[in-house]
Chain A
């Protein structure tokens, strides 16, 4: 039982990171039906911004995270303007290939500018403390990751449900042309979507830096892929789906390693994904009439 609770803690902290990245995927997909493969790499850029903010400017972890979110929001808007907007009326496959191109561009421009070697995230920025609750080990960084992920998700939910911008986003998602007729600026709404999605990815990047201590230019690939799977699992285009999908992925991986064999971790996790999609092709939360953002 103790071991099981420990595995739940492990799974939730891993899942929180997947969920945060998955949110960005799902938001962009919900609005412009584009799978933004560069999303994981925006996360990597966020991790680097956080790294330099702490090492060069000596800021604390919260400021570093805010700086990363701000800069990556701008980067997200820029990527959309330069790479995706001109292709908005072309085929979806053209936009998808462009997304892969942007992803590789971000990875290798970082390799060229900052070097391919991994960097150690400064541990002084976030000293690790372990809490022992009746044999259950919980680390302050696990709490930090989980709490900030849930907090950011709540803020996001508020923006989408309660603000004018959120209303515009939902409208564009539902019917772009009708939204234009209603006087909603589609370009502006899409920019805001990219800004929010990228900011969430940047936050996840800084969290990964804190959590796993090392960052490198290719760190976005695997978490990006897994978060994409999480988004699909929950039903791509749906905010609650991405959150739940992320936690399901994290817990699934942890449970397979903990109670099956670590050697089959990814095979089982992705096998379950295939089965879920066979039974429910639109994902766990997918409905034909679902409200999309």
Chain B
């Protein structure tokens, strides 16, 4: 009995010792955690690296990574280095959500991306829940930063691109004023908020300017045959055809329109910005087509020239608008961290909301109440397959 009791006591003692060791370890780990945080500032990059819009996502990633490297080379922010956590959301909203959840678990201070409005919407609930700011490079739908039901601004969602109303309005202004179009047909990607949003505001502005919309048609993502609807549009003989959509459908669409003998000028939004436009449609078919964009690599602004040079020497390719916007996302984030004098997500969010006259590669921007930047846009024209700046329109 005595021996047994002693054994029990020994066991009890041993257990207490073990527990104290475990507790001690826990305490140490907790102290180490903030120390690890001060070493680097983790920035989540949640973009489309595969799937339908992989070319947008990988270019934005390249721009963002370039910005992070430049900032780190110049000593970082608040004496700390930025750390890029690159993740692929596979061009789907579901995947964007789960990637954001994983990134939130890695204690990121902010997330850059995803690119399309739909995928940002997928990621939004996680960012709101974890109170981490999301800076969208190219999500242009109005409802990305504003909840349409309540009319409230989404506190943690920002963007560096202008919104759909502006792209549609801008192209309508350009078609009516610069191209002297009196009638226009709209042939929009009706399977995306993006296509529908641009079409709606184009129609509004174009009719305000005294023009007539002679046809309103739609296609869906994945369509390859546009001949039937184009033949119908050809019958209405419009001065201008507005085709807001993404390059995968727009490129064959333009090609088929030209094959049917439609010579009217055509226009669209930044979803047209891809090298595939020229390789699929060909330079001839693209003549007298225009799209609205955030930036052009041909710009002679010193800030743009410096960016283009740095990008070219790192990646050996021309930076497109997505690359420039990805770059600006990081620069804007860094400005906010400096303004807040802190790398805490909530403080960064406050600083982001009050940014004024930030000089980005894609232009000078001020963040408004709805978390949209107020900035100018560019009209790009395809000339024999080469993108050239046609004009610049101030809001």
Contact = CB atoms under 8 A, between A and B. Distances in A.
Nearest to B222: A222
Nearest to A251: B228
B320 to A, nearest CB: 15
A139 B259 contact: yes
Given A10-B228, A213-B251, A263-B218, 19 more contacts: A6-B260, A7-B231, A10-B231, A14-B225, A116-B50, A117-B54, A128-B259, A130-B259, A132-B261, A137-B259, A139-B259, A212-B225, A214-B224, A214-B251, A214-B280, A253-B225, A258-B228, A259-B232, A262-B228
Nearest to A250: B225
Given A116-B50, A123-B282, A6 B259 contact: no
Interface in A86-126: 116-118, 120, 123
7 contacts: A118-B276, A120-B280, A139-B259, A213-B255, A214-B248, A253-B225, A254-B227
Contacts of A175: none
A257 interface: yes
B224 to A, nearest CB: 4
Contacts of B279: 120
A139 B187 CA distance: 22
A118 B219 CA distance: 19
Contacts of A6: 231, 260
Contact of A262 (B51, B217, B248, B259): B217
Contacts of B217: 257, 261-263
Interface string A256-270: 111101110010000
Contacts, number: 78
Interface residues of A, number: 33
Contacts of B228: 7, 10-11, 253-258, 262
Interface of B: 50-51, 54-55, 187, 190, 217-220, 222, 224-225, 227-229, 231-232, 234-235, 248, 251-252, 255, 259-261, 276, 279-280, 282
B231 A118 contact: no
Contacts of A7: 228, 231
Contacts of A255: 228
A3 B259 contact: no
Interface of A: 3, 6-7, 10-11, 13-14, 116-118, 120, 123, 128, 130, 132, 137, 139, 208, 212-214, 222, 253-259, 261-263, 266
Given A14-B225, A118-B276, A130 B261 contact: yes
B277 to A, nearest CB: 11
B227 A262 contact: no
Contacts of A254: 227-228
Contacts of A222: 222
A212 B252 contact: yes
Nearest to B219: A262
For the complex of A and B, 8 pairs with smallest distance between CB atoms: A257-B228, A10-B227, A254-B228, A212-B224, A262-B217, A262-B229, A120-B279, A258-B228
Nearest to B218: A263
Given A137-B259, A254-B227, A116 B232 contact: no
A258 B251 CA distance: 21
A103 to B, nearest CB: 17
